[in-house]
Every structure is written in structure tokens, then in C-alpha cells.
Structure 1
Amino acid sequence: MRKFFADTTPLRNPDFRRLWVAGIPTVIGANLTIFAVPVQLYVLTQNSAYVGLAGLFALVPLVVFGLWGGAWADAMDRRLLLIIASVGLAVASVLLWAQAALALNNVWVVLGLLSVQQAFFAINSPTRSAAIPRMLPGEQLPAANSLNMTVFQFGAIVGPLLAGLLLSWVDLSTLYLIDALTCLAPIWATFRLAPMPATSTEQGSARWGFAAVLDGLRYLAGNRVVLMSFVVDLIAMIFGMPRALFPQMAHESFGGPVEGGTVMALLAAAMSAGAVLGGVFSGWLPRIRRQGLAVVWSIVGWGLAMVGFGVAGGMAHGHAGALLWIALVFLAIGGAADMVSAAFRSTILQQAASDDVRGRLQGVFTVVVAGGPRLADAAHGGVAAMVGTTVAAAGGGALVVVGVVVAALAVPAFVRYRVAPVWAPDDLRDPDKV
């Protein structure tokens, strides 16, 4: 049975274990804010378009600081940069708490603070991902990525459910405050890490400036397999991520209150529930060698699940009942498929990149993984305002299936990509040569 359950070998490494354990309260707190921001915006405006607008306000800092943060991760001690980014996230959460506690009730203040928070997240995420291959051998990376995804998605379950429960006794400002307090955990964990000095030999602006970002992009452009791992994820997220529709669907399709409540919490947690189940039973992942094909099939499964979710929401018409649970099952299936896709895409990137450009490529990865859903928020919110949530959700899922199949046919090298054995020489590990 151990073949089917998650491989915990990476947790034997003290540094990785500290980051992983600290991530448990952190992701729960972060998901309280992820829950609170769209709910606060919807309460203030009663309009999904404003909820979608939050995606654009988050996207710009994600792109800018994701790319530059990745360059900084290659240019300086990654441990120090992680400390700076963690402190910045804590300060942003404190400011979000202050605006809610003072009842400013200003949409633009909320959106502006969200942008600040996402800037620090965009620095933290690629730095943390680029640090992991410095801690672990290559054969442990699929298991490590699966463990990280499981914790991330566990927080995405507990966070919304806890938020829905807490809102029965406290207001939104308390959710922001709890998030700020949980930011202390990664600060403690990163102080305990061993130093991770830069390995790059570049100097001056070539090391810190825009030239470093361009070097990373040129490196990416020359690696078709890694580039396609980004492209297919953008297809999956932009067309298929319906989270901006959750407040409206919770209220109009499934009969929940305008302020959120249990129905909204269930919708927000369902994908992550599926991802956690996928992570718990991820023991088979390290044995998969055709990782490109696995990503394609996972994204097809994601798209079909979103079609099912949209159809179930359209049939509900204000009555929760069995259709709510059918919709939740489809979201959970999509979450499991996304976990598999993310674990393999992270592994492909970490194994293909050399350490002196790994931070920059992880920066691009952060832009894609976090920026894609923000574009989806804007797209789904706008489409839903024009033609309704059913078309926005189900139609987007159908476009995912069509888009990823077209991409796979256009670049068959990605579908053919397979991992070389651990003992293989370096030239066999080049994704464009395997």
C-alpha cells in the first residue's frame, strides 16, 4: 500500500522539513485572505465584475515582481530574500486588517493592498521553489513537489471552511489579522535555514537588472518542453478557473447568502479537497516517466471537470440540494487533476534548469501559475456579467480541452518527453534531447 501513498522521504531533510511544517499554518492564513478579499469586494459592490477586477490588480505585481524576484533569487542569498519577502507579506496582511477594522469600505484601497501583497508573494514563491533543489537530490523532487502541493491545497480547504465558520462570530477584519499572525511561521523557518549564496558569476546590472530577466527568458525560449509546460498551464487556468464566479454562483445558483457563508466556503474548498486526496495517494507519481503526456491528460481531465461544474450550476436555479454536491464533486475531480499537473510541471522545471537560472525560471513559473488564475478572474467575471455563470464556467472548460489538445499536437516533443533514469548522463536529461 505504501506504493500508493505519498512519499515522505524529502521530510527527512531538516531544511525542507522546516519549510514544509511552517507552510501548514501559513497557507491556512493566506487562504483566509483569499476568501476574504472577493467576499469583501462582492459585499461592497454586489458585482462579479469587481471581483474579477481583483485579478488584474494582482496580475501586474505578479508579473513584474515574479520576473524580477526570480532574478534576485539567482543574484543573492535565497535565504535572506525569503526572510525579506515573508516580512513583506506579514506587513501587507496587517494593512488589509487595518482597512477592514476601520471600515474604510473603499474598493480601491482593498485592491491596492492586494497588489502590495501579491508583489511580495511574487518574490517569495520563486525563491522558495528555487531553494528546494539546493536541499534535495533530483530523484526526490516529484515527491517534494507533491508534498508541497498537498499542504498548499490542505490550507485551501481549511482556510475557506474556517473562514465560513468564523464569519458567524467575527467580521472580515479578523480573517486578515489571523493571516498576518500566521506569517510569523515562515519567518521563523527561514531564519533556521542554512545560507544559500548565489552561484551566478554575472556582475552588476547583468546580475540584478532587466538584462538578467531577459537572459532567463532567452534560456526558456530555447527549451521547448519547459516552455510548453507553461503554455498548457496558461490554457488550463485562463479558460478553466471559475473561482471569480463562486460568490455569484453560491448566491444565485445554490441559494447561499450574499455575504458568503457555508455554500461559498464549500465551493472555495472543493478543488483543494480533491487536490489533497490526489496528494495523499500520490505514491505513483515518482514512477511516471512520460511526464509530458501525464500533464496533458491531467489538464484534459481538469477541463472536463469544469464543464461538469458549470452544467451543474446552471441546472440548480437557486436550489442547492443534490446539484450542489454534484458540482462539488466535479470541482474536487478538477483539483486532483490540477495537483498531478502541477507536481509534474514543477519537476520538469526544477530538473531541466541549471541552478544559476533556476530562480528566473521559477519567477516565470510563478507568473504563469499565479497570473493565469488572475486573468481567469477578469475573463470569467466579465463573461458572467454578459452571458451568465453557466456559459462562463462550462464554456471555459470546453475551451481548455480543445486548447490543450491543439497545443499537444503542435509540439509533440512535449508529449514525448520522458524522464531519464537517475544514473543517466547529463546530455540525456536535456528535455529537448530525450
Structure 2
Amino acid sequence: MTPAARLSAAIEVLGAIDAQRIPAQKALKEWGTAHRFAGSGDRAAIAGLVFDVLRRRASSAWLLDADTPRARLLGMLKLERGLDADAISALCDGSRFAPEPLTETERAALTSRSLDGAPSYVAGDYPEWLDSHLKRVFGEARVAEAAAMASRAPLDLRVNTLKAKPEKALTSLAHLGARKTPWSPIGLRIDLGADARNPGVHAEEDFIKGGIEVQDEGSQLAALLTGAKPGEQVIDMCAGAGGKTLALAAMMQGKGRLIATDRDKRQLAPIHERLSRAGVHNADVRTPKGPDDTLSDIRASADLVVIDAPCTGTGTWRRNPDAKWRMRPGALDVRIKDQLEVLDRAAPLVKSGGRIAYITCSVLPQENGDQITAFTARHSGFAVVPPAAVAGALGERAGEFLAATHQTPEGLLMTPARTGTDGFFVSILRRG
């Protein structure tokens, strides 16, 4: 397919997303099924265009003064891809499979309009109803913070120190352009271009043998900041597919007791194979069976309870750009209730001197600091560990990392703008 034909395909997919109100991945899959002539490179390029439009949906529509799939695509080409009106016009020439030529109105908009004077939620590309929430945490910096959350994310890998060493993995994956992550001592990063295909990490020998896992650097850091140690009893209450469970196991060096569970047993399905491949032998996976609590036998004995809490996922907008446009206020209310419940379930599991690590991939204060404030009010025996002490788990990089984060008395927040990671909130609560 020509570059122009890819633009036409992207407009078609965006139209399907609007008309059918379906997730972008489903629309892309259906388009690919109906157009089997398109190669993997074409499909990757079309997906890149669609997701870039979703990242810049509000600002692109503002720039063209029209909220249609075509207008949003044209606006994105200028704002995200850096093309000028002439370059865009060359692609939209009306030839076979190409988009129709630019109208005078479209050319004028691409030439003269900008985001000057645009509302914060337009310039930052997020739903208007979230503006007050983002203003509360970021203030006047919310546009810059949100714009960074609309940028393209790299592919981050975590080296599994039970089976590999970071230096050796870096050399082994040099052909993929891997480099060290800025903060995590066990992280590798592969930068992806606008039309890049998936580099096929799952087919690499390092992955097959369990030496690496796909995990955002922010998630790696969140696990490291829990301070899990060999010999401890650690409970991962919201283990899901096991990303942080694997990281905790490596930190424990196979020593101690690691319990992984999740209220939604469907989420746990991949964890068994992942633990086996990673060489983890001290993990006990507890799958829910009926209404009974899988942790009912544990009382005040855990050194560490990790809560990778269910949340709105606002910190992962770089990877799931269509999710932010489908998010509704009611979803926030549901997640807040879920978080309160899991925090209260965790409290009686922790022994004296033990700790709870509360983690979200959200930047919203209602899911982060507000939850911690409310929890310590309900459970007076717990106190927040100061962020400076928490960051000490990163060793010599602690001070620099701490300065990059957004800190509050309740914990610390990583963001794409500040730390180059997904948005993650981390709070450590110690039981007196």
C-alpha cells in the first residue's frame, strides 16, 4: 500500500470507531480481516496512524475546526508527525486509493491555525470533565503533563535477574536497538518509530528462556520501591497476569514466601506459565473458588502486602489512547470503591512493622493521595513512609529520581513528563 492509501485506510478505521463505538484494536482487527491484501507493515503503519489520531484527537479537531475522522487525521499529521500543508496535500491528491484533495478551508486551517487560545483540555488532549481533576494535581502544568501522556511510548523490558544479567541482555538485544532505561537498573528500552512494527520480543531467545519480560519502566520502579527482600512473606493481592509478581520474585531471589492472588480469576490465567518460564519456585498462586477469601488463613503475618490497585489507568494513556475518550465519570467512582475495599482487606494481613505498598497506574488524586489519607484515618496503626525513604530503594539514583517525581505527603507520582515512564503512584504504609 502507498502512504496515501494508508491514510485512506486510517480514515476508514476511525470512521468505524466513531460509528460503532468500539475499541480501536477491534476496529483495526476487523479492517485487517476485510482487507487481507494488506501486509504486516501496512497494518502496523495504519495502526500507528489511528493511535496517533486518538492521542491527539481533541487538538487535531480544534486545528481543523472540524471533528470528523478526516479532519482529525489531517490535524494529527501536522501536530504529531510534523508535516506542513504542502506535504499533507501531496499525500491527499485524490489519486486511486488516496484521500480527496485538501479543500481551501482545510489548507487554510493547516496553514494558519494553531493551538493558541485552545482550552486546557483541548491542548492537552483529554476529556473536558477531567480538567478539574488534572488541575488539582498538576495545576497550570496540566497541559504539558497531559501532552506527554499523549506521546508515543517506547517498549520497555525488565531483565529477570533470576535467569539473566542486565549487561548480557543488553548485548544480546543490541540488534533491536535496546538501551538502558534511565532509572531502573534492570530495565532495557527499545524506542519505536511512528510506523514501527512490533519488534517481536516474544520470539527472542532471551524471552523464551525467561531472561526478560515486557514491563514499563514505571512498573519496574513501582515494584523496586516496595522494598521486597529475600526471606520475607510477600502477598501480591491484585496479581492479575503476574507482571509485578515476577518482579517481586526476582527481588526475593527465590527465598521466602510469595503469595499471588486476584479477585478476578480470569486475570490470573497467564500467571502459571509466566512463573514457570521465569524460574520462580517460591510462589503460591491462589485462584478464587467460590465466595471464600483466598487469604482467610493469614492474620497479621505478612511482611509486605502489595496492592497493584484496580484503577482508571489514566497513567497508561500513551499505550491506550482510545481508553481516555471512552472513560466516564462513573468508572472513577467504581474504581474508588474497589480501591477502598482492597486496602481494607490488606490491613489485617500485615504484621507489626510490616508494610503495604499501594500502587496505581493513575494520576488522579482521588485514586492516589485521597485513598491514602482516608485509609490512615480508618486505620490509625498505619503511617505513610516518607517518599525520600521509599526512593532509597534505588540506591545512588534515589535523589535524582525523587527530584523528578511529583511528591505529596501521601506518596510519589511518576509521569511521562517528569520521569519518562507511564504514570504511576506509589505509597508505602508501615504498621506500627
TM tier, shorter chain? under 0.3
Considering Cα pairs closer than 8 Å and 6+ residues apart, tell me whether 1 or 2 has the greater RCO.
1
Which structure has more strand as a fraction of its residues? 2
Q: What TM-score do the two structures reach when normalised by structure 2?
A: 0.26
Q: What TM-score do the two structures reach when normalised by structure 1?
A: 0.26
Which structure has more helix as a fraction of its residues? 1
